[in-house]
Amino acid sequence: MSELQQLQEFEIPTGREALRGNHSSLLRVADYCVDNYVQATDKSKALEETMAFTTQALASVAYQVGSLAGHTLRLLDLQAASLRQVEARVNTLGQDLTTQLSRTGTLSRKSIKAPVAPASATLGRPPRIPEPVQLPVVPEGKLSAASSVSSLASAGSAEGVGGVSTTKGQAAPPPPPLPSPTAPPPPPASEVFLPPPLPEEVSLPLPAPELPPPLDLPPPPPLDLDELGLPPLPPPDFGPEEPSWVPAAYLEKVVTLYPYTRQKDNELSFSEGTIICITRRYSDGWCEGVSSEGTGFFPGNYVEPSC
């Protein structure tokens, strides 16, 4: 039987039944104290007896309430650890699903071919090719030195124009990249609000009046507690009991998130939801601790603090 099942089926129901039984016992004690005080001739003695009954009854009830509260907190800690394990599994499944979806999208994008852009600089129009300039034909007899020189000059200028036109037909260079947008200025720092000043004059409560001196009364006779059915007094260690394997001094109590099987003899094996008391931490991420299975080393990233 696991610790969680033992708390749900045995420890907590037993504590609740004990509190219900103490309720009827306290009613009988109250009736007895009232009748004893009314019928007693020595009121001081009856008052001392009533105080003794009240102290014992309240101490027993307070111990049982504290024990039941400790078992309830332990139950909540175990349930919280189980919820954290389920949350970790759900996160792992979500990450696996995201990875599969990203792989599927990458394969579908690779199967689609991008359209080929036209190589021409002007869309929809063929490149312009200039026609060669036809020089006029002059008879050889009428060609003079000046005209021949001017003809050569005109031919050279024509070749220059043709070269410029040919250059215009080529593709235009791409435009320069746009400058990167400047980053927006940082927001102004948030104003720090100071708390209001305290008032100069604070009224202090008056001291309590002095108690009267105690009465010099004889000790009360021994009480017969079995007839009233009062519960026994609580043990000295008032509070929830710790398991026997918990050391007297430890750094922190943690709960395991994943199972681990030891690789060496000095390591500690555990399953999910195991409680471990850490006694020492190391810089490489390993820890040394004590569990219900024994003592040894274990990786620190397999555990988290217990609430």
Per-residue pLDDT, averaged over 43-65, amounts to 87
Which of 73-82, 116-125, 142-151 shows the highest mean pLDDT?
A: 73-82
Structure tokens at 284: 């490489």
Using the predicted structure, report yes or no on whether residue 28 has a pLDDT greater than 70: yes
Q: Give the least confident one: 127-141, 217-231, 293-307.
A: 217-231
* Full 3-state SS string of the chain: CCHHHHHHHHHHHHHHHHHHHHHHHHHHHHHHHHHHHHHCCCHHHHHHHHHHHHHHHHHHHHHHHHHHHHHHHHHHHHHHHHHHHHHHHHHHHHHHHHHHHHHHHHHHHHHCCCCCCCCCCCCCCCCCCCCCCCCCCCCCCCCCHHHHHHHHHHHHHHHHHHHHHHHHCCCCCCCCCCCCCCCCCCCCCCCCCCCCCCCCCCCCCCCCCCCCCCCCCCCCCCCCCCCCCCCCCCCCCCCCCCCCCCCCCCCEEEEECCCECCCCCCECCECCCCEEEEEEECCCCEEEEEECCEEEEEEHHHEEECC
- Please write the tens of the pLDDT for every residue from 252-267: 999 999 899 999 889 9
Q: Say which residue, 122 or 137, is predicted with more confidence.
A: 137
Q: How many domains does the chain divide into? A: 2
* Domain assignment present for 248: yes
* Domain assignment present for 58: yes
pLDDT at res. 171: 45
Round the average pLDDT of the chain to a whole number and report it: 72
Per-residue pLDDT, averaged over 103-122, amounts to 61
> Which of residues 234, 249, 284 is at a domain's end?
234
Range of 252's domain? Answer: 241-307
pLDDT band at 26 (very low <50, low <70, confident <90, very high): confident
* Domain assignment present for 56: yes
> Which of residues 234, 269, 284 is at a domain's end?
234
* Domain assignment present for 121: no
In the chain, what percentage of residues exceed pLDDT 70?
Answer: 56
Using the predicted structure, report yes or no on whether residue 7 has a pLDDT greater than 70: yes
In the chain, what percentage of residues exceed pLDDT 90?
Answer: 17
* Domain assignment present for 2: yes
Q: 236-240 long-range CB contacts below 8 Å, 24 or more apart?
A: 238/62, 238/63, 238/66, 239/66, 239/70, 240/66, 240/67, 240/69, 240/70, 240/71, 240/73, 240/74
Using the predicted structure, report yes or no on whether residue 288 has a pLDDT greater than 90: yes
pTM of the full predicted structure?
Answer: 0.37
Distance CA 65, CA 145 (A): 132
Distance CA 277, CA 249 (A): 9
Structural Rg of the chain based on CA atoms: 48
Q: What is the CATH number of the domain that holds 299?
A: 2.30.30.40
Using the predicted structure, report yes or no on whether residue 108 has a pLDDT greater than 70: no
Distance CA 136, CA 150 (A): 12
Q: Say which residue, 173 or 38, is predicted with more confidence.
A: 38
Structure tokens at 172: 């235009």
User: In Å, how far are 167, 175, 293 from 118, measured between CA atoms?
Assistant: 20, 17, 75
* Domain assignment present for 175: no
Per-residue pLDDT, averaged over 8-16, amounts to 87
* Domain assignment present for 222: no
> Which of residues 183, 199, 234 is at a domain's end?
234
- Please write the tens of the pLDDT for every residue from 176-199: 444 444 444 444 444 444 444 444
Which of 98-107, 175-184, 273-282 shows the highest mean pLDDT?
A: 273-282
pLDDT at res. 237: 53
Distance CA 124, CA 104 (A): 38
